[in-house]
Amino acid sequence: QKEVEQNSGPLSVPEGAIASLNCTYSDRVSQSFFWYRQYSGKSPELIMSIYSNGDKEDGRFTAQLNKASQYVSLLIRDSQPSDSATYLCAGMDSSYKLIFGSGTRLLVRP
């Protein structure tokens, strides 16, 4: 099992819909989790971090962490075409290294 796994996509949603991005992780990655957005040709931009079980909301973004199922998700409400990007899930291992998934490409159709 890869340490952090994501479906590569693309995930295509219509404008205004909820986009749901998912990530699973192995036992090695258990400390804390981060969602980064990366536009083509640009650097990763941190959009959410989550450290404990449950939901964390910030504007249109909600991160969800379920440690029992080893599952992290990012919900984007009222998706906009400008949300079209690759979303990278990252987890921190016991030596405090960030381990990244390969990313999910999101396309928001106008």
Partner 1 sequence: DTAVSQTPKYLVTQMGNDKSIKCEQNLGHDTMYWYKQDSKKFLKIMFSYNNKELIINETVPNRFSPKSPDKAHLNLHINSLELGDSAVYFCASSHLAGRSYNEQFFGPGTRLTVL
Write out the residues near partner 1 by the rule CB under 8 A.
31-32, 34, 36, 38, 42-46, 49, 51, 86, 88, 92, 95-98, 100, 102-103
* Rounded CA separation 88/96 (Å): 18
Query: Nearest distance from residue 14's CB to partner 1, in Å?
Result: 25
Query: Nearest distance from residue 55's CB to partner 1, in Å?
Result: 17
Mapping DSSP onto H, E and C, the string for the chain reads CCCEECCCCCEEEECCCCEEEEEEECCCEEEEEEEEEECCCCCCEEEEEECCCEEEEECCEEEEEECCCCEEEEEECCCCHHHCEEEEEEEEECCCCEEECCCEEEEEEC
Complex with partner 1: residue 51 or 71, whichever CB lies closer: 51
Query: Nearest distance from residue 101's CB to partner 1, in Å?
Result: 9
Complex with partner 1: residue 5 or 17, whichever CB lies closer: 5
Complex with partner 1: residue 39 or 71, whichever CB lies closer: 39
Query: Nearest distance from residue 42's CB to partner 1, in Å?
Result: 7
